[in-house]
Amino acid sequence: MTQSLEILRETPSQTAGPYVHIGCIPRFAGLAGLYPEDLGHSPISEGVRGEIITISGSVYDGTGWAMRDAMLESWQADAAGTFPGSPGADPAVSGFCRFAADGESGEFTLRTVKPGSVAMRDGRRQAPHIALWIVARGINLGLATRVYFSDEDNRADPVLSRIEQRPRVETMIAQATGPAAYRFDIRLQGPGETVFLDI
């Protein structure tokens, strides 16, 4: 029997969110019972060495609206600047986290250990940073950026030094807001647009 198409409503068109949460972080999306916890729910575990910090922020679209369906992934080194899987890495640091903006406020929070300076193959050192990948409605391909810290010496960082428009460097630096607390807002376009990396 053929059903009348007049009673069916078209599903909203989405590039990434909000449906991406269902598959990537089902417990966050309200689907409890599938897994004991969402994959990558924390980049650290009990006994981690180093300073525990909190980074809060929002992802803003071109109109200045905080996107409440943004999902982010982070990747980082431990407090000594060593990545997981490398000799001497802190076993309590997985380095990976998947988290989302709050559905009401659009605010995200990442609780992690502050990473150390990372050595490059040629001996130069990168300033302490966390890599971020962002997806949300209207984003066809995930966006990559980095979070640096305002209370670190970022002047010699090889990535930041390649940014020709020097005022834009500030868009990649989280501002200290208190003890072990930082603010990092991501702007997708318009004034203060965050620097995104082509990787």
Q: pLDDT for 126-185, tens place per residue? A: 999 999 999 987 787 899 999 999 999 999 999 999 999 999 999 999 999 999 999 999
Q: Considering the domain boundaries, does residue 84 fall inside one?
A: yes
What is the number of domains present in the chain? 1
* Per-residue confidence (pLDDT) for residue 11, from 0 to 100: 66
Q: Considering the domain boundaries, does residue 4 fall inside one?
A: no
Report the distance separating Cα 176 and Cα 197, nearest Å: 23
Is 90 exceeded by the pLDDT of residue 192?
yes
Place of tokens 């930082």: 182
Q: Considering the domain boundaries, does residue 91 fall inside one?
A: yes
Place of tokens 């019972």: 33
Q: Residue 63 region, left (φ>0) first, then alpha (ψ -120 to 50), else beta?
A: alpha
* Per-residue confidence (pLDDT) for residue 161, from 0 to 100: 95
Report the distance separating Cα 182 and Cα 168, nearest Å: 18
Q: Considering the domain boundaries, does residue 88 fall inside one?
A: yes
Picking from 59, 128, 138, the residue whose alpha carbon sits closest to that of residue 99 is 59
Q: Considering the domain boundaries, does residue 35 fall inside one?
A: yes
CB neighbour burial string for 53-92, b if at least 16 within 10 angstroms, e if fewer: bebbbbbbbeeeebbbbbbbbbbbbbbbbbebeeeebbeb
* 3-state DSSP of 65-134: CECCCCEEEEEECCCCCCCCCCCCCCCCECCEEEEECCCCCCEEEEEEECCCCEECCCCCEECCCEEEEE
CATH code, domain with 173: 2.60.130.10
Q: Considering the domain boundaries, does residue 156 fall inside one?
A: yes
DSSP H or E segment with residue 55: strand 52-60
> Which residues constitute the domain of residue 137?
14-187
Q: Considering the domain boundaries, does residue 57 fall inside one?
A: yes
Confidence of residue 100 (pLDDT cuts 50, 70, 90): very high
Is 70 exceeded by the pLDDT of residue 187?
yes
Rounded percentage of the chain residues whose pLDDT exceeds 90:
72
Q: Considering the domain boundaries, does residue 199 fall inside one?
A: no
Q: Once rounded to an integer, what is the mean pLDDT over residues 51-68?
A: 96
